[in-house]
Amino acid sequence: MDLLRTIACQQHSRMCEQTLAKSGELRLSRRADPPTPPAAAAPEMSRIITDPSTGKCYCRGKVLGKGGFAKCYEMTDLSTNRVYAAKIIPHTRVAKPHQREKRIVNCSEIELHRTLFHRHIVHFYHHFEDKENIYILLEHCSRRSMAHILKARKVLTEPEVRYYLRQIVSGLKCLHEQGILHRDLKLGNFFINESMELKIGDFGLAAKLEPVENRSRTICGTPNYLSPEVLNKQGHGCESDIWAMGCVMYTMLLGRPPFETTNLKETYRCIREARYTMPSSLSSSAKQLIASMLSKHPEDRPTLDDITQHDFLTQGFTPDRLSQSCCHYAPDFHLSSPAKNFFKKAAAALFGGKKDKVKFLDNQSKPNCMLHTLVFSPIEGFPLLCLQRFQCMLSNCYNVFFFLFTALEDSTMGSVADTVARVLKGCLENMPEGDNFPKEQLNCSFQWVTKWVDYSNKYGFGYQLSDHTVGVLFNNGTHMSLLADKKTIHYYAELGQCSIFTATEVPEKFIGQVTILKYFAHYMEENLMEGGDLPASTDAQKPRLCLLQWLKSDRALMMLFSDGTFQVNFYHDHTKIIICNHDDEYLLTYINEDRISTTFRLSTLLMSGCSQNLRARMEYDFKFLKTELRKQSQGCTL
């Protein structure tokens, strides 16, 4: 009878393996043990778990996921109420002689994961063990995983795929730079936090990158995501992770893995031959990127930097952030505007659908020119800007952030674009090599943009300053600001002509624009997060920032203000550069991807150099600006 029971259990295990293989979520590894008959039920795990080394107590919550070696639970630190994702591995799974290799796996997972610190990698906090289990405390991602999102959504839109793919590349680059291969990239191992940011997790199969001759020939990973070289036992390299990324991208866009078939042998045959179908519904750039990542030969696949520069990621719209509703419903992207539905409902509620009033708003929003520019008359300390010349200069500046240390004081010195190009060139030629920011850093405050909304397809561009002033540069060239007190409004038809009135006593001709201004303010307050930790200026004597010009490219947003301040926000990593005049000295502030700011004098930068990352950005921007100036030299005098 025992023999029959054993045979039945083995048959049942094989059936489960085939079912899981078809779903693409079976994780294979020679480290895994052969299936065994079920034993007597293990005693139930205690809900209160104590760390013997620290005495801290944790409360075990609901199950978050199950793997081959462990289960993952919510676990709350009872002293701080902080919630973790706890991977709990029973000692019984690693104590037997034939399971010693699993013990090595678990130790390797801990040693590799604890060294990784990156915005798009699940954070490792702590590990401990007691008599029954090993506990690994990890960052808790409340929106679960990409597998759960795709199960609800079936497929994702291309802007969403760009949004997630950028973050996967960013996290994977950190791994590869430290010589670590993930070896199990799949939707179930991409976790999503409360802010809808992606985190790479589950390092149970991760390994150090070895020279080709020393690489492990173990076949491990998830069947539908294995690369040809792994199946052929040629070992894992960085290219195997790139292949898995190609499978992930294909799955997100089409709802199924590229090599999925009815049986595992056929799946492996398709993988070895790199044979899959490419539906016509995909865009040409998506097809090209997938095809390059799923190249049969590892050396033909793109690097992570190549992927970052691919047309799929650089040419199409990528949202700055996603709403949590995207876990269940497809987002509504319209002309890159995240506020479309909000403003549509607001306008309908305010104007009751009357055509003449809607037409009034449309007339308010009609642009005077191709670029969204506010024409200012000269005031004390600010020169007269020639509109034609300024427009032509700005049309050359897509993909460029402006590195400025001279005021715009002398229009006879040539175009501003030429000046910026010379300054960039001078900085790059004279800055010494550096590996980091200068040691001399400042602690000062000034106004900068913390939030913004592009609704220029209808009304204009809205932004919030660090002192909580909200401004809108309307498409018709006028500008309006709601000050931080929420009571005072400044209206500029021209910079030297400011009309001031209260929010409760609005002149009739401004009612439509004030309404739009208030909706911009409400939308940003309710839906957008602050862009960094930089404090606001509290100097009441400083002139208020007023947006002169904004310009978007596929990589960045540039904003130019009335006092000469330049701010550039980069989409892909949410970093920002702000250049401003503070106490008659020009400063450069860099806000990194974790929203932490660093400020220093430009003179210090020229003396000490800067990080390679910032220098590379400057070099790219200078080359781009130089190319664009050359293109325009025959058709426009700047």
CA distance 250 to 290: 7
Per-position b or e across 346-376, b if 16+ CB within 10 A of its CB: bbeebbeeeeeeeeebeebbeeeeeebbbbb
Tell me the pLDDT tens digit for each residue of 429-477.
777 877 777 777 788 778 899 999 988 888 899 999 988 999 999 988 8
Domain with CATH 3.30.200.20 in the chain: 46-140
Q: Which one from 77, 184, 300, 583 is the annotated catalytic residue?
A: 184
Task: Output the pLDDT for position 391.
Answer: 38
Side chain identity, residue 117: F
Task: Output the pLDDT for position 378.
Answer: 34
What residues of the chain score a pLDDT lower than 70?
Answer: 1-43, 68, 93-107, 212-218, 334-424, 426-427, 495-496, 531-544, 554, 564, 584, 620-638
Fold of 46-140: Phosphorylase Kinase; domain 1 (3.30.200)
What is the token pair recorded at 82? 């902080």
What is the token pair recorded at 223? 């069947």
Task: Confirm whether residue 518 is marked as ligand binding.
Answer: no
Task: Output the pLDDT for position 433.
Answer: 79
The vertex-624 CA angle with 619 and 628, nearest 5°, equals: 150
Q: Please confirm, yes or no, whether 184 is among the known catalytic residues.
A: yes
* Residues in a beta bridge with 465: 449
Q: Specify whether domain 440-608 bears CATH 3.50.50.60.
A: no
Tell me the pLDDT tens digit for each residue of 85-144.
999 988 876 655 444 444 444 568 888 999 899 999 999 999 999 988 999 999 999 999
Domain with CATH 3.30.1120.30 in the chain: 440-608
Q: Is 183 left (phi over 0), alpha (psi -120 to 50) or beta?
A: left
In the block, which residue shows the tokens 């005098």?
A: 637
CA distance 252 to 248: 6
- CB-based contacts of 431, cutoff 8 Å, min separation 6: 605, 606, 609, 610, 615
Q: Please give the mean pLDDT across all residues of the chain.
A: 76
Task: Output the pLDDT for position 236.
Answer: 83
* CATH number among 1.20.140.10, 1.10.510.10, 3.10.690.10, 3.40.190.10, domain 145-323: 1.10.510.10
The vertex-401 CA angle with 400 and 407, nearest 5°, equals: 125
CA distance 478 to 458: 14
Q: How many C-beta neighbours within 10 Å does residue 301 have?
A: 23
CA distance 302 to 326: 29
Q: How many C-beta neighbours within 10 Å does residue 422 have?
A: 14
